[in-house]
A = this chain, B = another copy of it.
Amino acid sequence: MTAATEADAMVRPERDLVARVRAGESIACARMMTWAERGDARFAAVYGEFESELGRARRIGITGPPGAGKSTLVERLATHWRAQERTIGIVAVDPSSPFSGGALLGDRVRMSSLALDKGVFIRSMATRGVFGGLARATDDLADVLDLYDRDDILLETVGVGQSEVDVARSTDLTLVVLHPGGGDTIQAMKAGLMEVADVYVVNKADMPGLEQLVHQLTDTLDVRDVPLDERPPILTTVASSGEGVAELAERIDALDAERRASGKRDARRAANLRLRVRRIVEGRLQHDIWQESGLARTLDERVADGRTLSAYGLADEILNAYRERRNLEGPA
């Protein structure tokens, strides 16, 4: 894209944006994602124009503890599906700073072999300072990629932490990636990863400790008394060399096809929708009370005057003020 075209793209009316994303214009896709990430009201405003077209793309979560090799695996899976002419969207949720909002030491374009392929759209997202929470934003970014006509949407996220696990849940299918020798495996499993796994991937399978990890996984499934036919399969890969990746991709294809046929995928999407609506509603209420009603400022002033240090007393004050203001304004 020339500089002139790019500048032109920036000034075109917003109402065209949906059509431009639909037509596969990458700059429009990136722009709509920025709206989504920031919780820009324009995203919600245009959502109605395309919502009925959504749901075509396959959404796959890739999660696991740090160091498991998730990014490399994502790169390999994307390459596998690209070879079948499938288009790919990747959202990589980067850990970032809670105070500065910026990623530290972040290598934002790690998936370099894919970066020049127009069939692959990569978006990196900070975990902090995202309006309305991580999972809310990830859902919206995935919708944009769906509208952008991607066949597969891969959501990569660190699988330790409450918000991060939420991201892994809002998919059609989730891989939990572990690696041998990581002392943090059991911890990662305790952090809720056991339940979000549709497939276990033991990556770095050429490292010592493979059998031990597979036994550990099997034992944990035994302890939890998961019926044999409902157990997530355990597959092994060496993402760095590509070993086992084709088998993994084919297993995902088969599992997804089976779930579409059985109605399981639709049931999961309904459950995801319920959680998603909750997140949107809560995000809006928060915006309403703190920004719209100006109570963030009131709170700052009340804390600064130092006359009370009562958390619950202040909370009552703020809530009463909010309700009064809301009632004066009448129903929205």
Contacts and interface: CB of A to CB of B under 8 A. Distances in A.
A4 interface: no
Nearest to A99: B195
Given A161-B163, A309-B273, A67 B184 contact: yes
The binding surface of chain A is classed by DSSP as helix
A230 interface: no
B310 A47 contact: yes
B192 A96 contact: yes
A194 B104 contact: yes
Given A161-B162, A281-B319, A318-B281, A97 B192 contact: yes
Interface in A98-127: 98-100, 103-106, 127
A286 B319 CA distance: 12
A182 B47 CA distance: 44
Contacts of A182: 183-184
Interface stretch (A7-15, A78-86, A252-260, A297-305): A297-305
A227 interface: no
Contact of A331 (B105, B194, B323): B323
A282 B278 contact: no
